[in-house]
Amino acid sequence: MRESIIMKIHYGTALGAVVLVAVHVLFRITMMSYGDSLQYENVIANYKFVPYAIMLELILVLLSVHGFNGLRVILIELKQGKSYEKAVTYGCLAAMAILIAYGSRTILLTSMGMT
Amino acid sequence: MANTQIAEEQSSSEVSSKTVTLKIAKFNPEHDSGTQFVDFKVQYERWTTVLDAILDVKEHLDHSVAVRYSCRQASCGSCGMKINGRPRLACFTKISELDSDVITVEPMNNYPIVRDLVVDLEGMFDTHKKMKPFIINEDSEITNTKEFLQTPEQIEEYIQFANCIKCGLCNSACPTMATDSSFLGPQALTQAYRYVADNRDKGKNERLKIIDESHGIWRCHFAGSCSQVCPKGVDPAMGIQLLRGYLLGFRK
């Protein structure tokens, strides 16, 4: 994949994450007091509300893609070499996939009431 | 009146002849383990440049000081070095403007040292060549006896970037180049923009492909130090951002 496409995804995920995290924070402070919104029942209720669960899933994907690409960029700037860069790229992709899979599992199980 | 002023300036300059300590970095990679600074006391006038002072040391105090220079008028880009911690052209920096009693001269960062103040610029010239620094256009001015006319606005798009003298100060000041040895660098990227923005050129896609790689244009963090140190007033940081515009689809 061309670097410009990767960086377009990088900038896009940053913008998307800022918007969705802002919505998430606004939900926390406008629906009820911030402390109450973090009560166990209210958190579980958020997961069971499907549109909200989808938003959480989107935040997870956006932040994972952005964060791991950022890490890849930092690591290839620190050290160079064909095999090293290949290992960094695939390592970051694998770590990103594992994090998304693990986070999605949590969102899915909680929204289906399997807690 | 004018004569009196000139006479006064001349007499004041005679009085203002001062002494400065020139600390020169000495290092020969073939047999030295590290850089050593050697101090020399040199006299200077208002108009004495750092290069003049180094050459004075070389002529009278230490013949072994290695320094590269040629035109002495900021045109050839040979005498780039770190002067009091900042990359500058030695021929274009007057001692009096540095406002310091100690002048430290070192080789530029981010280049292999050949000896003392001389660095190997081969890497920079290689990336410069990689950018295809020439007009790519099948319609030749020579074979078709046709002029490529340009409006002042079309020239304005790239002309400041054509002032680059390949001195390498921008690459030396670049923080990305300090860690990423494969980074193309502000000099090469600016030259890519210079030709991409030239309306006579048809090689835009070729050049954009060259710079759009993992150690290419996207590794610039826009620190802007390249633009700060350029002795010719080129703004590489802006050139890089304008070049990014083509890749992001903001510019055609």
The domain locations on chain B are 2-119, 122-248
Subunit contact A2:B212, Cβ cutoff 8 A: yes
Residues A45, A52 contacting (CB under 8 angstroms): no
Cα distances (angstroms) measured from residue B226 to each of B52, B79, B115, B129, B235: 25, 17, 24, 19, 7
Local confidence pLDDT in tens for the 115 residues of chain A: 899 999 999 999 999 999 999 999 998 889 888 888 889 999 999 999 999 999 999 999 999 999 999 999 999 999 999 999 999 999 999 999 999 999 999 999 999 888 6
Paired tokens of B240? 């890089």
Residue position matching structure tokens 């350029």: B230
> What residues contact A86, with CB distance under 8 A and at least 6 apart?
none
Task: Return phi, psi of residue B164, to 5°.
Answer: -60, 130
Subunit contact A80:B248, Cβ cutoff 8 A: no
Subunit contact B218:A8, Cβ cutoff 8 A: no
Rounded CA-CA distance A96/A90 in Å is: 10
Residue B213 burial (10 A CB sphere; 0-12, 13-18, 19+): middle
Rounded CA-CA distance A110/A52 in Å is: 12
Of A4, A80, A85, the CB nearest to B247: A4
Is pLDDT of B105 > 60?
A: yes
> What residues contact B79, with CB distance under 8 A and at least 6 apart?
B51, B67, B68, B69, B70, B89, B90, B91, B167
Of B176, B213, B248, the CB nearest to A77: B176
Q: Which pTM was predicted?
A: 0.86
Rounded CA-CA distance B213/B92 in Å is: 35
Q: Per-domain residue ranges for chain A?
A: 3-111
Task: Return phi, psi of residue B36, to 5°.
Answer: -120, 140
Q: Which run of H or E residues covers position B42?
A: strand B36-44
Residues of B in contact with A80 (CB under 8 A): 180-182, 215
Rounded CA-CA distance A38/B89 in Å is: 61
Residues of A in contact with B213 (CB under 8 A): 3
Subunit contact B219:A7, Cβ cutoff 8 A: no
User: ipTM of this predicted complex?
Assistant: 0.84
Each residue's pLDDT tens digit, B21-60 = 999 999 999 999 999 999 999 999 999 999 999 999 999 9
Q: Report the amino acid identity of residue B6.
A: I
Each residue's pLDDT tens digit, A13-36 = 999 999 999 999 998 889 888 888
Cα distances (angstroms) measured from residue B175 to each of B86, B181, B214: 13, 11, 17
Rounded CA-CA distance A19/A10 in Å is: 15
Is pLDDT of B84 > 50?
A: yes
Residue position matching structure tokens 């002029």: B147
Residues of A in contact with B215 (CB under 8 A): 76, 80
Q: What pLDDT, on a 0 to 100 scale, did the predictor assign at position B1?
A: 44
Rounded CA-CA distance B164/B166 in Å is: 6
Q: Which of A1, A2, A4 to mutate to test the interface with B (most CBs of B within 10 A)?
A: A4
Q: What pLDDT, on a 0 to 100 scale, did the predictor assign at position B234?
A: 97
Is pLDDT of B7 > 60?
A: no
> What residues contact B35, with CB distance under 8 A and at least 6 apart?
B25, B26, B27, B106
Each residue's pLDDT tens digit, B174-233 = 999 999 999 999 999 999 999 999 999 999 999 999 999 999 999 999 999 999 999 999
Q: How far is A104 from chain B (nearest CA, A)?
A: 30
Q: Which run of H or E residues covers position B236?
A: helix B236-248
Looking at the domain covering A3-111, what would its CATH class be? mainly alpha
Rounded CA-CA distance A88/B178 in Å is: 20
* CATH architecture for residues B122-248: Orthogonal Bundle (1.10)
Residues of A in contact with B248 (CB under 8 A): 4, 8
Q: Report the amino acid identity of residue B65.
A: V
Residues B108, B121 contacting (CB under 8 angstroms): no
Rounded CA-CA distance B191/B206 in Å is: 14
Q: Tell me if residue B89 falls in helix, strand or coil.
A: strand
Subunit contact B218:A2, Cβ cutoff 8 A: no
| Per-residue confidence band for B2, with pLDDT thresholds at 50, 70 and 90 | very low
Subunit contact B180:A80, Cβ cutoff 8 A: yes
According to the CATH classification, is domain B2-119 in 3.40.1390.10?
no
Is pLDDT of B244 > 70?
A: yes
Interface of A with B (CB under 8 A): 2-4, 6-8, 73, 76-78, 80, 85
